[in-house]
Structure 1
Amino acid sequence: MAGAREFLKEIGTIVIGVLIALGAEQVAVSLRDRHAAAEARAAVYTEIRLNLSYMQGRMATQACIERQLDEIGALLVKAGEGPLTARPSWIGQPSSWLIAAQRWQAATGSRRVSLLEGVE
């Protein structure tokens, strides 16, 4: 009887030790996932802010672009009536900005996006 009791005591100790180890591992995984999610969220938010600043800059020049397009339209109408006496030299290309997506792609590729919760 004492042998069985000692055996059960040993098994109980092992089971409790394994449960503690599994619980500690889950805590470590959870902490690592939270850290990864926070990094991904910060990177994506930074990229969004950058893109929004580009869009704001573009919107700030919208009136100027529309005015130039109207002037070009008027020149084309004149050109349709005959040769222009003076060729315009001011026609150029408006500034353009690329929308950044590298941080979002990195977060998606590393599956960190799946760790993100709803908008805070």
Structure 2
Amino acid sequence: MFGEVFTCQFPLTSGAVGKLRHALVLFDLEQDAIVCRVTSVHRAGPLDVTLKDCRLRDWLKPSIARLDRLVTAEKSIFLRRLGVLSAADLDAVRGAWNIGWPGCAAAGGDRAL
């Protein structure tokens, strides 16, 4: 599942239904998955990865994977599979994750994607 992008209906903290958002799967946890937000709002954070080779359905704008916006989500909120990232974009996500976090593989830890 790593690298798959879905449209998801994330609930708000109040329990109300939130708006549809795109999410990138980072880790498959059987019934759940750890995902990060994918957005078209650009900023220059150290864990923001520009997805340069987006050929996913329904994507009209260049997008950013926000690796600092993680959620453990039930797979039941995944409404529609949009596709999977290209090999180049997957490498960019892995690189940002493995360099950006203390305890990562690049620093001798075991938290590599």
TM-score, normalisation: structure 2: 0.19
Larger radius of gyration: 1
Bigger share in helix: 1
Q: What's the TM-score once normalised by structure 1's chain length?
A: 0.18
Could you say which structure has the greater relative contact order, defined with CA pairs below 8 angstroms and 6 or more residues apart?
Answer: 1
